[in-house]
Amino acid sequence: MEEHLLLAFGLTLFAGLATGIGSLLAFFTSTTNTKFLSLSLGFSAGVMIYVSMIEIFPKAQASLTAELGPTRGAWMTVIGFFGGMVLIALIDRLIPKQGNPHEVKRVEDMTLDEQKIAKDQQLMKMGSFTALAIAIHNFPEGIATFMATLHDPNLGIPIAIAVAIHNIPEGIAISVPIYFATKSKRKAFRWSFLSGLAEPIGALIAYFFLMQFITDAVFGTIFAGVAGIMVFISFDELIPAAQKYDETHKSIYGLVGGMIVMAFSLLLMM
């Protein structure tokens, strides 16, 4: 696994800093391409769901079964899978409502009437809470991307792309309130950029603290948890956000397309 270390860090950094792309889109485009966003968010969900259930979950079970035996290995895989879901759900529950990153923002929000914006004294607080919330969300995603790439780059690359796609609207969600609170594009971009750094930080912590304890059993449990985290994010965040932007079933087409691309990618890499 060590030979994939630089690639794992690089892909995690790429995925995390995609929040900055969202921030730039908010500054340099006048309208949101809702069709593209709906399609791409659905695509991201399709990739995550397919790779989690078809590739990561079975690999986690194989690793745990080899270490613990068929019955205990199967049980630990299921526990790890739902444990990942519980972890990301708890993070969601602990985030204040006004900072929840699942609130969809559009580029058009950058051009709202300034008098209306000035009345909202909570903008900076909302923007900073959103940045913090997204950073907390990005932390386990960083571990997931890093661990998947370290084990198998053929898994890590599509996961990193899927995570990057879903980080773009999160960058917009940070930039919109902070820009209007400070009137500074630089500050809004900086907050968005810094929130994305949580993913490579998650990768660093995984490397320095988790790697020393890695056995087949630990790896299998973490991998099962990664699958659970990605499935939860897909159903709780990506699909609802894609449907908010949706006009003509683009989110479902994107989801199916993501699954098809992931399926053929895995077949071609065999």
| Residue 154 annotated as binding site | no
199 is in an annotated binding site: yes
* 166 carries a ligand binding annotation: yes
How far apart (Å, rounded) are the C-alpha atoms in residues 149 and 4? 7
Structure tokens at 186: 């630089």
167: annotated binding-site residue?
yes
Distance CA 9, CA 105 (A): 29
Torsion of CA 57, 63, 65, 69, to 10 degrees: -160
Instruction: Please indicate if the annotation marks 103 as binding a ligand.
Output: no
Is 100 labeled as ligand-binding?
no
CA distance 91 to 118: 31
Which parts are annotated binding residues for Zn(2+)? 141, 166, 170
Which parts are annotated binding residues for Fe(2+)? 138, 141, 167, 170, 199
Which parts are annotated binding residues? 138, 141, 166-167, 170, 199
